[in-house]
Structure 1
Amino acid sequence: MRRAPVLLLAPFALILGCTRPEVEAFRQRPAPVSVSVTLPEGLADREGFQKEYASALRARLATRVTVVPEGVKPPVGAAELRVEIRDLRPAPGQPSPAAIGVATGAAVGAISAVGGSRGGWAVMDGLFWGLFAGTHAAIHQERSRDRLGYQPQVVRAQVSLVKEGLSEPLWVDAIEPMEVIEAMDPLPSGSRDDDGRIREEEAKGFARVVVQKLSVQFQWTRGTGQRFYQEPAPRREESPARSQEPAPAPEPHRD
C-alpha cells in the first residue's frame, strides 16, 4: 500500500525529469521579460496594432512576472516574449459555413474513395461530414456573435519565449483564432459599434490566451499587482576632493 503514492507520482516525475535544465531554472527564477510584436507587412495601421497588442500583453504579463516597459533597455539576462501575428483580418473574410462544409465534404469523399469506398458510399460520407462541419461552423459563428455582441477579427499567431545566451527558445506555441474569440469579453450595447473598443478587447483576449499558456507552462500564479522593471539609477559621480588652500604666507617680522 505504501508504494501506491510513488506509482501515482511516477508519471509526473518522468515529465519533470524531461524538462530542460534552463527551462526549469527559468521556472524557478524568472528573469524580467520584454515584449515584441510583429504583424504582416502592408497591414493598415500596422504600427498601431503592434502597440495595442504589445501594451495588452505587458499589462497582463506583469501580473505574473516582472515586465520590461516599452522604451526601457532590458537588463542583462532578460527574456523576450516574441509574438508574430501571422493573420489578422476581419471575420467576414473567413470561409463561410457553406464553404467549410463543401471543402470538408469534398476532402472526406476523396479520402473515402481512396480508402476503398465505392460509388454512393464515398458520396454519402462526404455529404454527411460536409453537413456536419458546415453546421458546426455556423453554430459557432452565431454563438460568438450572440455572446460578444460584435463580430471579432480572426487572429492567428506564433509566440515564443527566448532568452539571451540560449540557442533554443524556452517555450513556443501557436495561437488559434477560436482560442482568442473564446477569451474575449462582451461589450456594452453602446460600444458594440465602436471599432476602437472592439480592437482593444481583441488585444486583451489575445493577451489572456498567451499569458494563460505561459502560466500553465511555467506554473506562474497571478499576483496582487503589476511588476515592472526599473532601470537602476545612474551613479552620481563623486565630487573631486577639495584641494587644500595654501597656507597664508607668514607676516614679515616687525621690530
Structure 2
Amino acid sequence: MTQLTLDTRSISRGDGLTDQAYKVIRDAILSRRLAPGTRLSIPELSRQLDISRSPVREAIARIEYEGLAESVSHRGAVVVEIGLDELVAIYDVREVLEGLAARLATRAADDAFIDVLERNWQAHRDAVEADDVEQHMKLDAAFHRHIREGSGNLRLSENLRQLQGQIRVAMTTTVARRGGMPAALAEHRSLIDAIRGGDPATAEQVAREHITRLRESLHDAASAERHHNNERRKP
C-alpha cells in the first residue's frame, strides 16, 4: 500500500471538519503526494488527521464527485488515474467553457479586474524568462482562475475548477510542446488585450485557441502512445 502523507497543520478543532479534511486530502492529491492509484483509506486518513471517520468519509465523497477519486471493487476509493485519451476529452470540454468564461469576463471587466490580470502576466513573464516551470504552472493556473471567477457565473466557474483539478491529477505536461511557456504567455497577453478592448467575441476566440493548442498537443501525444503500444503488441 502506498504511504499516505498529509499536511495536517491546517486542521483545527471545532466546526467544519469535513471542509478541512476535504481541503487537506484534495491538496495532497493535486500535489501528487497522494499519487494516482493510491487507496484513500478512511481509517488511515482519519488517524493522520486526528479526526473521526465521518468527516473523512464525507470529504472523500466530495472528492469522488469532482472526479479526483473513484470507487474500485474491494479497494474502496482510490485516487483517479487519467490517461491521455481521457485528458484529450477533458480538454474538448475545457475549450468551450474557457471560451465562454472569457466572453463573460470581458462583459463584466473593470479596471481592477484588468489590473489583476496584468500583474499576473508580469509575474508570469518573469517566470518564463527565468525558465521556472513550477512558477509558470502556478501563475498559469492563477490566470485561468481569475478569468473563470471574473465571469460571474458560479456554475461555470465550479465546472472549470473541477476540470482543472482533473488535469492537475493527470500531470501530463504540455510545457515543452509547441512553444510551451512562451506560447502560453503570448496567448495570455492576447486575451488580456481583448478583455481590455471590451471585445467579448475576440476574447472567446483567443481563449478557445489557447486551449485548442494544448488539446492538439495532447492528441498528438495520445496518438503516439497508441502507436507505441500497438508496436509493442506485434509478434
The alignment's TM-score, normalised by the length of structure 2, stands at: 0.22
Normalized per residue, the structure richer in strand is: 1
Rg larger in structure: 1
The alignment's TM-score, normalised by the length of structure 1, stands at: 0.21
